[in-house]
Amino acid sequence: MAQDEFTKLFKHMNSRFDSLEKRLDETATKTQVDKLLGAVADLGANLKSYHEELLALGSKVDRLERWIHQIAQETGVKLSLE
């Protein structure tokens, strides 16, 4: 193989490897972005679940407070805010 042919082959192979590396980098970036989007979606779902649980807990506390006031009123116990 002559020097000129080897140089052409070398340049061709370098350009092919460069394009392959670029595609791999893009793929890795897409995979990372997909993982990040998945993590954000999971976090959103967890936040929604937490919010629903917090609302249910608030409702339960309100109901218990009403019961306490009703019991105090029926028994004549005076409740203080402290």
- Each residue of 23-75: pLDDT tens digit? 877 787 888 888 989 999 999 999 999 999 999 999 999 999 999 999 999 99
Name 2's Cβ contacts closer than 8 Å, sequence gap at least 6: none
Distance CA 68, CA 81 (A): 13
Q: What is the pLDDT of residue 17?
A: 86
Q: What is the pLDDT of residue 12?
A: 87
Q: What is the pLDDT of residue 73?
A: 94
